[in-house]
A and B are shown apart, each in its own frame.
Chain A
Amino acid sequence: DIQMTQSPSSLSASVGDRVTMTCQANQDIKKYLNWYQQKPGKAPKLLIYDASKLETGVPSRFSGGGSGTDFTLTISSLEPEDIATYYCQQYDNVPPTFGGGTKVGIK
């Protein structure tokens, strides 16, 4: 199975800050990497697919990058509504696997 490692596991930032989190795969997954946002008590929501493509309706302050084994999710200017846990997921191979998540809070 492909292992996905996210870092940091949690972070706190101020409103307006640029926030970056990373996701690393233990083997090449090309571009087959998605990012999901999960707010407390809610279902996950797709933000980014194929490493860098923004899902329809997702604010442009979110962006994704990377390929191969190293990927990033960036929030260009943190908003209060961005408080959530963010998960990466690879879908290059069966089984599709998720990272452990990065929990984002406000300072």
Chain B
Amino acid sequence: EVQLLESGGGLLQPGGSLRLSCAASGFTFTKYAMTWVRQAPGKGLDWVSTISSSGATTHSADSVKGRFTVSRDNSKNTLYLQMNSLRAEDTAVYYCAKNWAGGYLGPYAFWGQGTLVTVSS
């Protein structure tokens, strides 16, 4: 059974840093690109970052470029999102998603349950 378990969310002040983790199980992690998508309270879905299966290629939204870094440790079956210089508008539930086989930009075949990040003073 495919499982994605996000962790690391919390409440922090503007300008702070946080690292999200997504522990994957139930599939061969090294074969799939992975993606972070966020959803602000009461709003729609917003793509954040994607990383290739090997980790060699990444893309991120302009809104987070230079502040967020996506990475993965294939030996630990874990996806990460390092978030720096956080702003109030980064407040959202952050989902990790397993891309479809062979897909890089999508579709997202399976999603974790999400972790809430709240940025507030």
Q: Which of A45, A50, A98 contacts B45 (CB 8 A)?
A: A98
Q: Which of A44, A45, A91 contacts B103 (CB 8 A)?
A: A91
B59 within 8 A of A: yes
Main secondary structure of the interface of A (DSSP, over half): loop
B74 cross-chain contacts in A, Cβ below 8 A: none
Residues from chain A with Cβ under 8 Å of B89 in the complex = none
A46 and B114 contact, Cβ closer than 8 Å, known pairs A87-B45, A95-B47, A98-B45: no
Q: How far is the CB of A50 from chain B (nearest CB, A)?
A: 8
Instruction: Tell me, rounded to whole Å, the shortest Cβ–Cβ distance linking B92 to chain A.
Output: 13
A97 contacts B by Cβ under 8 Å: yes
Chain A 49-81, CB-CB to B under 8 Å as 1, else 0, gives: 110000100000000000000000000000000
How distant is the Cα of A55 from the Cα of B46 in the complex, in angstroms? 22
Q: Which chain A residues border B59 with CB–CB below 8 Å? A: 94-95
B: number of interface residues (CB 8 Å): 22
* A63–B109 CA distance with the chains assembled, in angstroms: 17
A89 to B, closest residue via Cβ: B106
Instruction: Return the CB mask of A79-104 against B: 1 if under 8 Å, else 0.
Output: 00000000101011111111111000
Say yes or no: is B2 at the interface (Cβ < 8 Å to chain A): no
Cα-based distance from A32 to B107 in the complex (angstroms): 9
B32 within 8 A of A: no
Given contacts A95-B62, A98-B44, A101-B44, contact A43 B106 (CB under 8 A): no
> Among the listed A45, A96, A101, which residue makes an inter-chain contact with B106, where contact means beta carbons less than 8 Å apart?
A96
Which chain A positions have C-beta within 8 A of B109? 46, 55
Q: State whether A96 touches B111 (Cβ < 8 A).
A: no
For A46, the chain B residues whose CB sits under 8 A away are 100, 107-110
User: Which residues of B approach A to under 8 Å, CB–CB?
Assistant: 37, 44-47, 50, 59, 61-62, 95, 100, 103, 105-114
Other than the known A43-B113, A87-B45, A91-B106, what 4 A-B pairs have Cβ atoms closer than 8 Å?
A32-B106, A49-B106, A50-B107, A89-B45
